[in-house]
Structure 1
Amino acid sequence: MKSAVETLNPTRVRLTVEVPFEELKPSLDAAYKKINQQVTVPGFRKGKVPARVIDQRFGRGAVLEEAVNDALPKLYQDAVNEGELSPLGQPEVDITELKDNELLAFTAEVDVRPSIEIPDYSGIEVTVDAVEVTDEDVEKSVEQLRERFASTTVVERPAAEGDVVKIDLEARVDGEVLEDGVAKGIDYTIGSGELLDGIDEAVTGLEAGGSATFTSELKGGSAAGREAEVKVDVTSVSARELPELDDDFAQLASEFDTLEELRADSRKRLERMKKYDQATQAQEKVLDELISLVEVPIPEKLLQDEINTRKHNLVNHQLAQLGMDLATYLKMQEKSEEEFETELKEQAEKGIRTQFILDELVSKEKLNVNQEELTEHLMRRAQSSGMSPDQFAQAVVEGGQVPMLVGEVARGKALAVVVEAAKVTDTNGETVSMEDEEDEESAETADASAETAGEPAEQGGEKSEG
């Protein structure tokens, strides 16, 4: 077999392949055998029809077509390997010549991973929020905990802000009660903003047995985004009573004996959360700076496939679960379809650039993924998916997605290398050391940043290398 590679542009090549006919013999034999199992010829046992009879009865052309279809995938892959190419997606194959007993020639055009030069990234500098936990932050945290231990007592008076009302709701659109617009026995805290706009004003001042009607835009369900007339019936009013902030509360709400110990623990937790947020912010900013340094040509078909995939996931999964269509979503976001499409394209482009750059860094830095790292990543992904680790692992293996997970971990490690080399300063002018962040949290943020890139290359059928 002879093959040649022609570069059509930085992300697309044309392979020209010539195959001597003798190399097709295994596929020809397989074609005759397959046809033999499918046809019945009087005078011959099934599967024992001679090749010359098959040629006479069904035509040599049918055999050649079957043989070529059988041989093409391996011939194409051999040409890809010979050309040391990294294809993205499926090729467009055109058979240019087929001479019986002489020659098979074909061309294959395919998108390829572009050649990327990674510049010196040690000069990247970013500024992140300082880790500061104020007394007010601590008190707010303790107050939220206190809210969880509030008790309620039914009262015989008009409802006021902070009270818990038990209500029944009925929503009408164009005078018709919606099938999914009726709810009974809902506990609602006035002022929480957790239900419909306008409900606080409607129920404030009502006693048990009182009713009110108000107009509100529905946030979900079959009529999401539409104006509805909502009738609310109050069946009971309860006052909320908060426990005293003292040592008894600390013992009730935590494993600590004193309120001061509870406050100290709240401060530590808030510091950990802010350090996590700081690490995430550093990685996102460093990644943006890295992307700005590297020229990355993007295959048009890969970009369009990524845009279509992201749009499909949004419309058919995220919005569908909320009972919402794209038009309603755009209205709530106050975006035009053109603005949405522009944002979607920008996100897809960034995702593809990120993956290409980080994959090149994995190769350049010779980063490998060990079993422990893969297992930890799988556990985190399982937790975020709501599946057990065993269920998630089984789904990954059955779906052939292990290489994809390996790629995610490797890209996370590549990003961590760049972040460690960057100069990260907080808003107080203090240097933030990322070298000591090699714990589970930093690994999680690095993985998350790498996952944000999406998996555009794998969608084309390419397998990540680990």
Structure 2
Amino acid sequence: MAVSVETISNLERRMTIKVPLAPLEGQIKQRLNQISRTAKFSGFRPGKAPLGLVNQHYGDQVRDEVYSKAVETSFGEAVEENKLRVAGYPNIEHKPFGEAAQDLEYIATFEVFPEIQLGDLSKVKIEKPTLEVSDADVEKTLDVLVKQRVSYEPVKRASKKRDRVNISLIASIDGKEVESTTDKGIDLVIGEPGRMAQFDEELIGGKAGATKTFEIVYPEDHNPAQLAGKTVSYQVTFNSVSQPVLPTVDADFAKNLGVDDGNVETMKAEIKVSLEQEVAKRIKARVKESVFNALVAETETEVPKAVLSAEISRLMQITAQNLQQRGMDP
């Protein structure tokens, strides 16, 4: 195999490769012999047709397969032999395989990854953040853990913020019903994120058994887009109202978090250790990002077009998936 490499630009290379046909002809003959054992032709028993007849019917196909495989294999060997780091896929050009005489010659044009030359980093300073976990941080985390384990008990009073209400709902646009709940209704915690604040405000003051109607005008940029700019009429029936009950931070609470002896101070100590590990992890990630940014800022390099195209395609695909998940046509 003969290989020559031409430098077109900083990143582009043109490689001319010649592969001897003799070994390939042997592969073609071997493949045709394999086909002849099972090929069926009129007037001949399976496996008894002359090789010339088999070649007449399958020769071009087999030759294309063998030559294509040879191109793939020889290109990989040539790249490895010349220690090239190929970026993306090569553009292969060759004459029709049937015109090959002594050698299978083709030209591969491709990009390579650049050699990175670091700039002057002597004046670059990387600051490592420091942060100590305080008792206040532990209490704040403990407060989150308590709220995550909230339970609810029914009450007879009117609903207020942070209560859980079970409601039956019918939503209409221009008099046409667009949404309704099941007979069991749905549970909502008043004031929780993810809904229009105005909707939750309308749920304040309702008692079990009461029915309320109201309208909400959704903004033009509302998500999901189906409600953007629409006026939606709601009929809400309150099935039940329940108030939140937060657990007491005691031995049972500590045991629920994995502290076998239920010692509250041990639980807080373990929370502090966990927070310290998380802080260390985040500081390490921030320092790593700072080092990376400094390297990028002090280093000039050319990015292969193939890499840019691949990244653009990846981002476009992610964007299209996000739009589809939001019910929009990309």
Q: TM-score, normalised by structure 1?
A: 0.58
**One-letter code of the match for 2:328?**
D
Structure with greater Cα Rg = 2
Q: How many residues align?
A: 321
Matched, 1:280 2:285: yes
**One-letter code of the match for 2:226?**
A
Are the aligned partners of 2:119 and 2:300 in contact in 1 as well (CA < 8 Å)?
no
Equivalent-residue separation in structure 1 for 2:314 and 2:252 (angstroms)? 51
Q: In the alignment, what sits opposite 1:242?
A: 246
Equivalent-residue separation in structure 1 for 2:69 and 2:26 (angstroms)? 10
Equivalent-residue separation in structure 2 for 1:194 and 1:105 (angstroms)? 63
CA, structure 1 residues 169+125, in 2 after alignment: closer, same or farther (shift >3 Å)?
farther
Report the Cα offset of residue 276 of structure 1: 1.9
Report the Cα offset of residue 29 of structure 1: 1.5
Equivalent-residue separation in structure 1 for 2:58 and 2:276 (angstroms)? 78
Matched, 1:211 2:212: yes
Equivalent-residue separation in structure 1 for 2:328 and 2:49 (angstroms)? 59
Q: In the alignment, what sits opposite 2:271?
A: 266
Structure 2: runs of 5+ lacking an equivalent: none
Equivalent-residue separation in structure 1 for 2:61 and 2:189 (angstroms)? 75
Equivalent-residue separation in structure 1 for 2:291 and 2:58 (angstroms)? 64
Write out per-residue CA displacement over residues 66-88 of structure 1, whole angstroms, 9 at most, x where no aligned residue.
54234322222232233222223
Report the Cα offset of residue 295 of structure 1: 2.8
Report the Cα offset of residue 31 of structure 1: 5.0
**One-letter code of the match for 2:77?**
D
Equivalent-residue separation in structure 2 for 1:5 and 1:20 (angstroms)? 18
**One-letter code of the match for 2:272?**
R
CA, structure 1 residues 3+46, in 2 after alignment: closer, same or farther (shift >3 Å)?
farther
Matched, 1:7 2:45: no
Report the Cα offset of residue 63 of structure 1: 5.9
Report the Cα offset of residue 306 of structure 1: 2.3
Are the aligned partners of 1:4 and 1:83 in contact in 2 as well (CA < 8 Å)?
no
Equivalent-residue separation in structure 2 for 1:196 and 1:106 (angstroms)? 64
**One-letter code of the match for 2:212?**
S
**One-letter code of the match for 1:108?**
A
Are the aligned partners of 2:32 and 2:59 in contact in 1 as well (CA < 8 Å)?
no
SS at structure 1 position matched to 2:126: strand
Greater fraction of residues in helix: 1
Q: In the alignment, what sits opposite 1:153?
A: 153
CA, structure 1 residues 237+53, in 2 after alignment: closer, same or farther (shift >3 Å)?
closer
Equivalent-residue separation in structure 2 for 1:224 and 1:283 (angstroms)? 43
Report the Cα offset of residue 34 of structure 1: 6.1
CA, structure 1 residues 39+109, in 2 after alignment: closer, same or farther (shift >3 Å)?
farther
Are the aligned partners of 1:319 and 1:325 in contact in 2 as well (CA < 8 Å)?
yes
CA, structure 1 residues 8+34, in 2 after alignment: closer, same or farther (shift >3 Å)?
farther
Report the Cα offset of residue 6 of structure 1: 1.5
Equivalent-residue separation in structure 2 for 1:164 and 1:284 (angstroms)? 43
Are the aligned partners of 2:33 and 2:51 in contact in 1 as well (CA < 8 Å)?
no
Are the aligned partners of 1:150 and 1:241 in contact in 2 as well (CA < 8 Å)?
yes
CA, structure 1 residues 150+17, in 2 after alignment: closer, same or farther (shift >3 Å)?
closer
Q: In the alignment, what sits opposite 1:342?
A: none
CA, structure 1 residues 265+22, in 2 after alignment: closer, same or farther (shift >3 Å)?
closer
CA, structure 1 residues 173+197, in 2 after alignment: closer, same or farther (shift >3 Å)?
farther
Report the Cα offset of residue 14 of structure 1: 1.6
Are the aligned partners of 2:247 and 2:253 in contact in 1 as well (CA < 8 Å)?
no
After superposition, residues 212-361 of structure 1 pair within 5 angstroms as 212-215=213-216, 216=218, 219-220=223-224, 223=226, 227=230, 229=232, 231=234, 232-243=236-247, 247=250, 251=254, 254=257, 255=259, 257=262, 259-316=264-321, 318=322, 320=324, 322-325=325-328
**One-letter code of the match for 2:232?**
E
Equivalent-residue separation in structure 1 for 2:48 and 2:119 (angstroms)? 65
Are the aligned partners of 1:93 and 1:108 in contact in 2 as well (CA < 8 Å)?
yes
What is the Cα-based RMSD across aligned positions, in Å? 3.5
Report the Cα offset of residue 228 of structure 1: 5.8
Equivalent-residue separation in structure 2 for 1:31 and 1:164 (angstroms)? 74
Equivalent-residue separation in structure 2 for 1:20 and 1:252 (angstroms)? 76
Q: In the alignment, what sits opposite 2:104?
A: 104
> Identity of aligned pairs, percent?
25
Write out per-residue CA displacement over residues 12-44 of structure 1, whole angstroms, 9 at most, x where no aligned residue.
322111233323223332453366468544554
Report the Cα offset of residue 225 of structure 1: 5.4
Are the aligned partners of 1:163 and 1:240 in contact in 2 as well (CA < 8 Å)?
yes
Are the aligned partners of 2:32 and 2:58 in contact in 1 as well (CA < 8 Å)?
no
After superposition, residues 385-464 of structure 1 pair within 5 angstroms as none
Q: In the alignment, what sits opposite 1:193?
A: 193
Greater mean alpha carbon deviation, residues 34-43 or residues 199-208: 34-43
